[in-house]
């Protein structure tokens, strides 16, 4: 009798083990990505692609990774930068998080800056790091069309590419999503979305004329901006423009700034080296003083922000009470958000349809629609873009902006 029980126990154990192995094999086979990514096509007759520069500092590692997943698409290119005040361990952990995503591992379109820059937000090192990022992205990839700057405190309000109902049925509770690529497919690829004005107002005396030195240029330790006792006259060799530091710039304009066949970008860079908050004036002044590019400016940064009146240094932090207005704003991105604020979960659930620690699902994702499987762990043709299901606030915003641009009411003045 004991031998029979022992035999039955052994048989049961073997059957149970076989069942577990079968389940593990099934899940693995079901959820594993294709061994080779599909071919990414770029060019004038293909959907547009974007180069994202996403940066942050100490304690921003997880925020940057979350933001990356929220704007990820295999056709785009991404450069992540944890500045010098973040630890080397944080950089390694960010890289490990990036490599843990099957699609990113397969397409290899995300890079992390290994040698970080020192950055002073109010100093010229801010514009220097942005120019460095643009130069790296120009060298890494010849296919993208627009360069987008985001900080760890930003978040998207639209998808890169809409996920079909049959793939992402579990997420289709609200039809607010709209893909960025679809809307940008219908506009000229030399346009630059940059909030700008030549009406300097109080900034002329408080930002343009004061002479400052950014100590991060020459000091290894953190230090405050150095203010000279004297001021300088407002330039008359070129016109100073100012505006939002958050930009969506075309590849041709960035090549003009980086490769510099004209001396204007370098001349203005030397001037803005000693300007407070140079990121609010450098690109604006270069583009509006350039005969070749001044008529390519659409006067908007495509961001949703709430400011004091008069505006302070930074906009208000957004929270759940701002969600409805933010979702209907027609903006592509919003700032600023506190780390893991509940409103970000609302954006993920109601707009992006993004699961925890997963990329935003799009038409390129071909995985199953079960709750335990990431739809983007498998993929098909990444060059297919699909529009959202309803009338789009963002599309309306772009149409209105382009109407103003065609009437020349929002170009450099």
User: pLDDT tens-digit profile of 264-284?
Assistant: 999 999 999 999 999 999 999
pLDDT for the residue numbered 238: 96
Q: What is the dihedral of CA 15, 17, 19, 21, to 10 degrees?
A: -150
With beta carbons less than 8 A apart as the criterion, state whether 160 and 353 touch.
no
Omega into 349 within 30° of 0, i.e. cis?
no
What is the layout of strands, in order, in the sheet containing 50-56?
110-112, 77-82, 50-56, 146-151, 248-250, 192-193, 297-298
Q: What confidence tens digit (pLDDT) does each residue in 44-79 have?
A: 888 899 999 999 999 999 999 999 999 999 999 999
Query: Residue 173's pLDDT is what?
Result: 35
Q: Is the peptide bond between 114 and the residue preceding it cis, with omega within 30 degrees of 0?
A: no
Write down the pLDDT at residue 150: 97
pLDDT the model gives residue 382: 83
Which ranges of the chain have pLDDT less than 70?
A: 1-37, 162-178, 310, 368-372, 385-393, 409-410
Check: CB of residue 198 under 8 Å from CB of residue 241.
yes
Q: What is the pLDDT of residue 22?
A: 42
Place of tokens 């954006």: 347
pLDDT given at position 223: 76
pLDDT at 383: 84
Whole-number pLDDT of residue 210: 93
Q: Cα-atom radius of gyration of the chain, to the nearest Å?
A: 24
- Residue 384's pLDDT is 75
This prediction has a pTM of 0.86
Reading the block at residue 259, the tokens are: 């490769």
Reported as a single tens digit per residue, the pLDDT across 3-14 is 554 444 444 444
The runs of H, that is alpha helices, within 32-170 are 61-71, 88-99, 102-107, 125-140
Q: Mean pLDDT for the chain?
A: 84
């Amino acid at each position: 009798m004991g031998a029979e029980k022992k035999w039955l126990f052994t048989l049961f154990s073997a059957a149970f083990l076989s069942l577990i192995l079968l389940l593990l094999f099934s899940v693995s086979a079901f959820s594993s990505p294709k061994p080779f990514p599909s071919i990414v096509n770029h060019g004038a007759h293909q959907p547009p692609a974007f180069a994202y520069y996403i940066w942050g500092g100490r304690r921003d590692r997880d925020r940057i990774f979350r933001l990356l997943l929220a704007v990820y698409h295999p056709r785009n290119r991404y450069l992540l930068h944890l500045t010098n005040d973040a630890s080397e361990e944080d950089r390694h952990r960010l890289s490990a998080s990036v490599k843990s995503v099957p699609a990113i591992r397969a397409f290899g379109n995300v890079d992390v800056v290994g040698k970080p820059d020192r950055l002073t937000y109010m100093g010229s090192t801010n514009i220097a790091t942005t120019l460095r990022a643009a130069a790296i992205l120009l060298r890494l990839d010849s296919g993208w069309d627009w360069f987008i700057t985001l900080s760890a405190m930003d978040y998207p309000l639209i998808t890169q590419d809409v996920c079909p109902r049959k793939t992402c049925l579990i997420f289709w509770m609200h039809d607010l999503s709209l893909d960025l690529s679809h809307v940008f497919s219908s506009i000229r690829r030399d346009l630059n979305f940059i909030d700008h004005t030549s009406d300097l107002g109080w900034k002329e005396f408080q930002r343009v004329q004061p002479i400052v030195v950014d100590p991060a240029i020459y000091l290894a330790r953190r230090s405050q901006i150095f203010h000279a006792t004297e001021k300088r006259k407002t330039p008359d060799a070129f016109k100073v423009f100012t505006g939002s530091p958050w930009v969506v710039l075309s590849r041709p304009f960035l090549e003009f700034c980086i490769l510099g066949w004209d001396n204007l970008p370098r001349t203005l860079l030397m001037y803005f080296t000693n300007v407070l908050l140079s990121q609010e004036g450098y690109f604006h002044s270069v583009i509006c003083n350039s005969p070749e590019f001044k008529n390519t400016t659409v006067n908007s940064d495509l961001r949703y922000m709430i400011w004091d009146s008069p505006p302070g240094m930074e906009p208000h932090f957004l929270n759940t009470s701002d969600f409805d207005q933010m979702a209907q704003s027609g903006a592509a991105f919003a700032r600023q958000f506190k780390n893991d604020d509940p409103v970000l979960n609302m954006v993920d659930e109601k707009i992006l349809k993004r699961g925890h620690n997963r990329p935003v699902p799009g038409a390129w994702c071909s995985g199953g629609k079960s709750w335990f499987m990431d739809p983007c762990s498998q993929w098909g043709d990444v060059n297919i873009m699909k529009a959202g299901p309803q009338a789009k606030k963002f599309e309306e915003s772009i149409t209105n902006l382009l109407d103003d641009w065609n009437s020349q009411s929002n170009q450099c003045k």
